[in-house]
């Protein structure tokens, strides 16, 4: 089959690889119809996530048709159209049973290395390095889906591929970012990052009853999407000071909750600040450029919530602990527990409450994946989200 493979930093290729096989009794094989390039795939592309090997198949957002199931899979049958959550979760460990699917205790066969870096291992993730399991990804013609009796859900015909594939990662991740803010009527929610997750977090904050949503980014075309589709107010940090702007917009209170949908490869409007973290990151003194996180902590109203769904990999330098502690802030974080959200969010799509596919800017065939990575990386051609059609 054809698959998108990581060939080294800034290099992906569509190559021929063997078809996936059933390896465990609860596996399914899915023929992929639509798959997406995620912002966190860019962290792999840029080489920031350790333990990638040349030839590793990328991709953790995908959907398609079940073509084969293992003997223990009873909920799915060949022919079912399914979308697959990006974290691989066994459904039986105590984390899964508490709904914490992205920290499944069993699904990372390389848990030992992850433990050395993170203390405890999170779940395995499709196509996301050997640190997180060494699973082949879904930017391919076929994918093996472990624990197919737990993760994938069937997609009804009236929901399109473009809508459904958002349920693999970005929509639930954005939704969880908003849910962690514990939004109450009258509240103001600020979202750092107008990428797919940031836009869907802002949209979810609306769904959950936020009175005002403020989106912070530097690309005018992305901010325009936030204004047009979510009725959000926007701040372009290349033009104004974010803290001043937020204080002015909230009469000095600060947003009730701040969502960091940026993660480890952030940018900063101030060239000196940016150079400082860039240099430290290059020297491996820190692994992140946590501009959004620092700013979110400083901006948040006292007693508010900082919700982090942007991806971080290692260690943060200059974390404003003084502000965080003295102002009674709460931080809530996590890779999304996608399995918790797929069904209720699918129902919201079916009821017409939201169409998450408004973030899609590009659709192209799988063979054009290298081009898709390039334009997403460079933010060319007003790119927000690339779907690959197989």
Partner 1 sequence: MSRVDTVLLPELDGPVPATPPSALGLLSLALGVGTLVAPGPVARLTGVDDSPAARAVLPAIGLRELGSAAGLLSGRRPAGWAWSRVAGDAMDLTLLGRALADRGGARRRRVALTTLAVAGITAVDVLAAVRVGQARRARARVIRLEIAVTVNRSPAEAYRFWRDMENLPRFMAHLESVRADDLRRSHWIARGPAGHRVEWDAEIIDDQPNKSITWRSLPGTGVPNAGRVCFVPAPGDRGTEVRVELRYAPPAGALGRAVAKILGEEPEQQVRDDLRRFKQVLETGEVIRSEGSPNGISVRQQAMQRPAQPLPASRR
Q: Nearer to partner 1 by C-beta: 204 or 287? A: 287
Using CA atoms, how far apart are residues 234 and 218, in angstroms rounded to an integer?
Answer: 10
Give me the residue label for tokens 């090997």: 53
Query: Residue 18 Cβ, how far from partner 1 at the closest point, in Å?
Result: 9
Is 107 one of the binding residues for partner 1 (CB under 8 A)?
yes
Strands (E), the chain: 2-8, 11-16, 28-37, 56-57, 61-69, 81-84, 87-88, 124-125, 142-145, 153-154, 188-192, 212-217, 233-236, 257-260, 305-308, 330-333, 362-365, 386-389
Query: Residue 215 Cβ, how far from partner 1 at the closest point, in Å?
Result: 25
Using CA atoms, how far apart are residues 163 and 369, in angstroms rounded to an integer?
Answer: 20
Which of 1, 42, 113, 316: binder of partner 1 (CB under 8 A)?
Answer: 113
Q: Nearer to partner 1 by C-beta: 77 or 279? A: 279
Q: Nearer to partner 1 by C-beta: 99 or 303? A: 99
Q: Are strands 81-84 and 124-125 parallel, antiparallel or unpaired?
A: unpaired
Number of residues that bind partner 1 (CB under 8 A): 50
Which of 19, 72, 78, 344: binder of partner 1 (CB under 8 A)?
Answer: 72
Query: Residue 89 Cβ, how far from partner 1 at the closest point, in Å?
Result: 10
Using CA atoms, how far apart are residues 216 and 221, in angstroms rounded to an integer?
Answer: 12
Q: Could you tell me if 304 and 255 are in contact, meaning their C-beta atoms sit under 8 angstroms apart? A: yes
Query: Residue 279 Cβ, how far from partner 1 at the closest point, in Å?
Result: 8
Label residues 168-186 b or e (16+ Cβ within 10 Å = b): bbbbbbbbbbbbbbebeee
Which of 86, 135, 358, 376: binder of partner 1 (CB under 8 A)?
Answer: 135
Is 301 one of the binding residues for partner 1 (CB under 8 A)?
no
Interacting span for partner 1 (CB under 8 A) from 34-42, 85-93, 172-180, 351-359: 85-93
Interacting span for partner 1 (CB under 8 A) from 4-12, 253-261, 332-340, 381-389: 4-12
Query: Residue 10 Cβ, how far from partner 1 at the closest point, in Å?
Result: 6
């Amino acid at each position: 089959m054809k698959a998108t493979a990581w060939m080294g930093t800034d290099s992906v290729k569509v190559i021929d690889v063997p078809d996936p096989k059933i390896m465990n009794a609860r596996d399914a094989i899915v023929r992929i119809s639509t798959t997406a390039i995620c912002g966190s795939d860019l962290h792999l592309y840029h080489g920031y996530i350790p333990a990638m090997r040349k030839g590793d198949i990328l991709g953790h957002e995908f959907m398609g048709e079940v073509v084969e199931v293992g003997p223990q899979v009873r909920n799915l049958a060949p022919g079912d159209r399914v979308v697959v959550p990006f974290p691989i979760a066994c459904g039986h460990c105590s984390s899964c049973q508490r709904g914490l699917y992205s920290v499944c205790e069993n699904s990372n066969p390389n848990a030992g290395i992850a433990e050395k870096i993170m203390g405890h291992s999170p779940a395995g993730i499709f196509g996301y390095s050997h640190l997180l399991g060494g699973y082949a990804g879904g930017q391919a013609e076929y994918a093996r889906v472990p624990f197919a009796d737990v993760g994938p859900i069937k997609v009804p015909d009236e929901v399109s591929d473009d809508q459904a594939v958002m349920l693999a990662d970005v929509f639930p991740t954005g939704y969880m970012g908003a849910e962690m803010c514990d939004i109450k009527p009258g509240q103001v929610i600020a979202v750092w990052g107008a990428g797919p997750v940031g836009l869907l977090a802002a949209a979810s904050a609306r769904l959950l009853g936020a009175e005002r949503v403020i989106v912070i980014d530097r690309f005018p075309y992305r901010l325009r999407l936030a204004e047009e589709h979510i009725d959000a107010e926007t701040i372009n940090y290349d033009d104004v000071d974010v803290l001043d702007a937020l204080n002015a917009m909230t009469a000095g209170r600060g947003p009730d909750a701040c969502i960091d949908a940026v993660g480890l490869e952030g940018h900063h409007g101030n060239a000196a600040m940016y150079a400082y973290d860039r240099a430290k990151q290059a020297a491996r003194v820190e692994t992140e450029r946590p501009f959004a996180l620092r700013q979110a902590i400083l901006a948040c109203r006292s007693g508010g919530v900082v919700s982090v769904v942007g991806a971080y990999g290692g260690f943060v330098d200059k974390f404003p602990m003084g502000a965080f502690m003295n102002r009674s802030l709460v931080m809530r974080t996590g890779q999304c527990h996608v399995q918790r959200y797929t069904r209720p969010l699918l129902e919201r799509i079916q009821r017409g409450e939201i169409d998450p596919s408004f973030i899609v800017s590009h659709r192209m065939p799988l063979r054009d994946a290298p081009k898709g990575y390039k334009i997403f990386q460079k933010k060319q051609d007003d790119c927000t989200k690339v779907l690959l059609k197989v």
